[in-house]
Structure formats: structure tokens, C-alpha cells
Structure 1
Amino acid sequence: EIFHYIQDSRGHQNQEISRNFKINCGLPKGGGVCVALLREGFPRSFAQMFSLLQRWDAADPHELHTLQQRLTSAETAERHEAYDNHMFLARFFTEPEDKWLKHHFIQLALHSARKFKMDSGKREAEANLHMGQVYLEKGQLERAQEHYEVFYHLTMGRTWQDPSGRMHHSRSCEELQKLFTLLGQRLLQEQDYTHAIKMFNKAYQMAKECMHTLFTLTTLYKLHSLSIMLC
């Protein structure tokens, strides 16, 4: 039941398991803190707290609160390190023959970012950007679109920037503009002109949103040329 509660704590709370856990495991004084740690998704902090409380019956509320804060802070730091280490390895493998390793570690970084919500989704947004680039390199445009759109929605209304000071949301618009243009060009080759126009229009909207004059004019030209061709 402990295992099932840990799993459940990352999704939906289960009060019945919580009650059974208290009864069956005989939590020591301060056991409510243990249950709270599980409910909040900190299984390692729970294990340490539970072990300490087996031998530490005299802990007062302030001590318990301080211990809870520090244990969860330490566990959160470990989760940050998992993401950062995966991204470091993704950037480390730069040779063409190592692309599969780069892609592998970006996927792991995205998994870590999704699993642990620590920064309002910033790391998850960045990992989706990188996954979009992975699929773009592979020529899987629809898969790239999925990740770029997640990047776009997660960064909307945020002031997040990359190390160079570039706004993440502006970057998301640019990446989607380029992707929609590629999709539009592919549709043109397939002579699917109706959907090509829709795709170029999406590219135009993204170019306008990121206020990129060159992209906006280029996309407008494509739309105009396509409209003339269909007249």
C-alpha cells in the first residue's frame, strides 16, 4: 500500500490509502508529516522522516517542520540535478555519429522535467524545444510540431529567457513559423493547395506574434503567390 500511495501521490490523492497506511503501519508521533510528504510526491523524504521518527518521539512541531522543509529541499535539488545532467550529456555528444545519444538524453531530460514540476514548467518547456529540434532533424515534422506547440503554450505569458536574453515565447513563435512554412511547402509539392494556404497562414500568424518583419514579409509573399496561382 505504501508503493501504491507513492504512485498515487504524483497524480490523484487517495485518502482511503492514507487512512489504511496510518492504521497498518502504526505511524509514530508526527506521522501526519510522513503522510503529507507522500501526498506531495516526496517518497525519499518520507522514508528518511519515517526512519527518524521511529527513534525520535520527542520532536516538537517546529523541529518537524524544519526537517520536512530541508528534506524536501534536498530531494528537489536532486531532481534538478537529474534534468541538468541529462541536458549536459545531450550537449556533450556533438558528433554526427553520436546523434542517437544526444536524442536519448534529451528524451530523458524531458521525462525528468515532466515528472517533477519544480519551476512552473520552464524546464519542461525547454526540453520540448529540444525534442522539437530532434524530430525536425529526423524530418518528422508532425512530431516536431507537437513539441513546438507545447513549448509555445508553456511559455505563453512568461518572461523566461535563454542565457543570451532571448525570450522563450518569441523563440517558440519563430520555430513554429519555420515549421509551418516547411509543412506548407510539403503540401505544395503534394499539390494540396487548400491545406498549404492554411499552413502558410499559420506561419504568418506566428511571424506576426513574434514581430519578425522578415518572416512576416516572406510568408505574406508565399501566400500572395499561392493565391495568384489559384486564381
Structure 2
Amino acid sequence: MKPEKKNQKPEKEIPKSTQIPSKVEIAQFRQSLKQNICVELLQQGYHRSFSEFFFLLTCDEARREAAEPGSDLKLQSPLGGQHHKLEPMREHLSWAERAEKTGSWTVVCEQRLSLGKFFSCPEDLWLSLHFYHSCSDRELGGHSRPATEARACMAELYLQQGDLEQAKQQAELCMRMAEDGGWLDSDRRPLKLRARRSLWRIYSRLAQAPLEEGDTEQGLRLMHKGHCMARQSQDKQIEGEACHLLGLTYQSTGDHTTALKGEYDRACEFFLQGYDVACNLGDVTLLQRAQVMVSSARAHSLIRKYSEDVESSSHDALSRLVDWKETRGRADATDHSQPAWY
């Protein structure tokens, strides 16, 4: 045996920071984040979350392949490379699946509602709608508060896209469900009022097509439905805008070629309602618009009645013309109690 050397220093331990990484750590380093998330979801038993996560990544790739060269979609980064979006998807999807296993359906819908709100960028609209639909169209949990809010969100998104029928369907469903539950949205606003605010815009937009095609009856019917929703929304600003828009509609259909006598009077009624609301709100812009439109509608009404009396040879018509000549129309233009056209 060799004699032990004096002053021999003991072997130093390898610092943890320089230890050789494990195979798992090496794999995580070498693989992309989307691959690591897929592996993690499977290892933790979230098989449904894995399937949905992988399905959405595949949909994104298919959308990009089908896009025209040089389009905005082609220029965007693939979903699989946007790390700030993948982690929230993993977190909320796994949380939703965990709640689903225990029958906590409201929690499931809350997680999916959160994902729908998270994807708020215009390029992520398809993802937002996917999660809103997966929240509200569920057999279990589909009538919960978060599912009802998801319908309100979808109504607003479809309205932005111009898909008025889908927007109308979602807003009407939201209103019926909110009436039963009396729920508030995430910002503590009544969902039924939020649905009514959307519906007045939807009905007003739906009225444009029949009005442009000359179907005055259908257009005005839709405009009145929108006006009714605005009145029930408890939002005075919207109510004033609805009165103003309905007044404009009546004014646009009130000339002689439409064979509707008296529409300028109806227009003036709604402009006056908008004027009253604007006064209460103190909204100067809306107030000025209302003043102009009240004056315009009343003037058109007076001109039409004046023309009718000029063309008529009746005693009453001549009396009104003589009275007007003497007063020069100094009567209050907003006084509807006046029996004559002046």
C-alpha cells in the first residue's frame, strides 16, 4: 500500500449549477414550447385539452396555407410560435378539464370565457369565437352566467363582422337567459341591458336593407324594434340616438313619392324625444343635431301642408292661408296642439 500523501486536498463536489442535465431537461430545451406543452398535457392526463390544443394549432396552419400570398394572414406569426398565447391556452384548458372531471360546469365555462376574452386581437377573432362557442353551446353549463356572457360577447363580435343574423340570434338568446337569471357580466353590468343595447344596433342595421329596397313597412318595423330595445336599455345616450335615427328614417320616407302623408310629423315626434334626452344628458353635440333635425322635420311638414292648402280651393284652406299671412308663422313650431299647419 502506498503511503497516504500528506496535505492531500479532498475532491470537490460538482456545483449544482454545473451538473449534467437530465434527459427530460435536455428534451425540454431542444423541443419547441408547443411540443413541450403537448407532452406535459398528456403526461398529466389532460387528454381532451391536448386534443383541443393540437386541433387549434392544426387549424391555424390550415388557415395560413389557404390564405392568399401576401395577405395579412400570411404575414402573421404562426400560433405555434407565439409563446405568450400558448401558455394561457394550456393553463385555462387544463383547468377547465380538471373542473369538468368533478362536474363543476360553471367553472368550465368561466375558463373558456376567459380564453375568449384573452384573444381580443383582430387576428385572433376565430380563436375568440371558438372559445365563446365552446362555452355557450355546451349541454352542461350552457345556461350558466358565464355562458350567457359569452353570448353577449359573440353578439358584439358578429355585429362588428357584419353578420347581423348571427348577432341577432346570440343577443336574443342572451337576453332571454339573462331575464331568467338576472346575471351581471364580469364588469358588474346587467347582462339583459347589455343584450338590449346590442339589439338596438342590430335591428337598426337590419332595417337598412329593406329601406334601401323600398320596403318601408319592414324597415320601420325593425327600426321600431330597435327603438324599443334602446328605451329598455336604461341608457339615455342610446335612447337619444335611437330617437334621432328613427326620426331620420321617418323623414327619409315622408316625401310625396312614398304616398305616406304625415311621416314628417312622426319624425318630429322622435326628434323631440331625442332633444329631451340630449337636454337631460347635457350632450351638446347630440343637442345640436336634435335641434337641426326637429327644425328640418317641422319645416318639411309645414311646406307640405302649405302646398296642399294652396292647391285646395276650400274655405278652410283659404282661411289658414290668410291667418298664416297675418302671423307670418310666428306660432311655436314645436306646438303640436295647433290645429292648422302653421
TM-score (norm 1): 0.59
CA 1:94–1:121 in structure 2 vs 1: closer, same or farther (change >3 Å)?
closer
Partner residue in 2 for 1:134: 157
- Displacement of 1:117 after TM fit? 4.0
Extract structure 1 runs of 4+ deviating beyond 6 A: none
Higher normalized contact order (CA 8 Å, seq sep 6+, divided by chain length): 1
CA 1:230–1:134 in structure 2 vs 1: closer, same or farther (change >3 Å)?
closer
Give distance in 1, aligned partners of 2:251 and 2:216. 12
Question: Residues 193-229 of structure 1: CA distance to partner in whole angstroms, max 9, x if unpaired?
Answer: 2211111100111111122222223222332333233
Is residue 124 of structure 2 the alignment partner of residue 101 of structure 1? no
Q: Secondary structure at the match of 1:144?
A: helix
Q: Name structure 1 gaps, 5 residues minimum.
A: 1-72
Equivalences, count: 156
Give distance in 2, aligned partners of 1:122 and 1:189. 39
What is the identity percentage for the equivalent residue pairs of Structure 1 and Structure 2?
A: 22
- Displacement of 1:157 after TM fit? 5.1
Give distance in 2, aligned partners of 1:99 and 1:117. 23
Partner residue in 2 for 1:116: 140
Q: Secondary structure at the match of 1:156?
A: helix
Partner residue in 2 for 1:190: 213
Q: Return the structure number with greater helix share.
A: 1
Give distance in 2, aligned partners of 1:110 and 1:157. 16
Task: Kindly indicate whether the alpha-carbon contact (under 8 Å) linking 2:109 and 2:147 is maintained by their aligned counterparts in 1.
Answer: no
Structure with larger Rg: 2
Give distance in 2, aligned partners of 1:134 and 1:225. 27
Give distance in 2, aligned partners of 1:214 and 1:163. 22
Give distance in 2, aligned partners of 1:135 and 1:202. 19
Partner residue in 1 for 2:185: 162
Give distance in 1, aligned partners of 2:122 and 2:166. 21
Partner residue in 1 for 2:102: 75
Question: Residues 114-165 of structure 1: CA distance to partner in whole angstroms, max 9, x if unpaired?
Answer: x1148x6323321211222232232110111011000111111543212332
TM-score (norm 2): 0.41
Question: Residues 29-67 of structure 1: CA distance to partner in whole angstroms, max 9, x if unpaired?
Answer: xxxxxxxxxxxxxxxxxxxxxxxxxxxxxxxxxxxxxxx
Task: Kindly indicate whether the alpha-carbon contact (under 8 Å) linking 1:177 and 1:203 is maintained by their aligned counterparts in 2.
Answer: yes
Q: Name structure 2 gaps, 5 residues minimum.
A: 1-99, 255-342
Is residue 243 of structure 2 the alignment partner of residue 220 of structure 1? yes
- Displacement of 1:175 after TM fit? 1.0
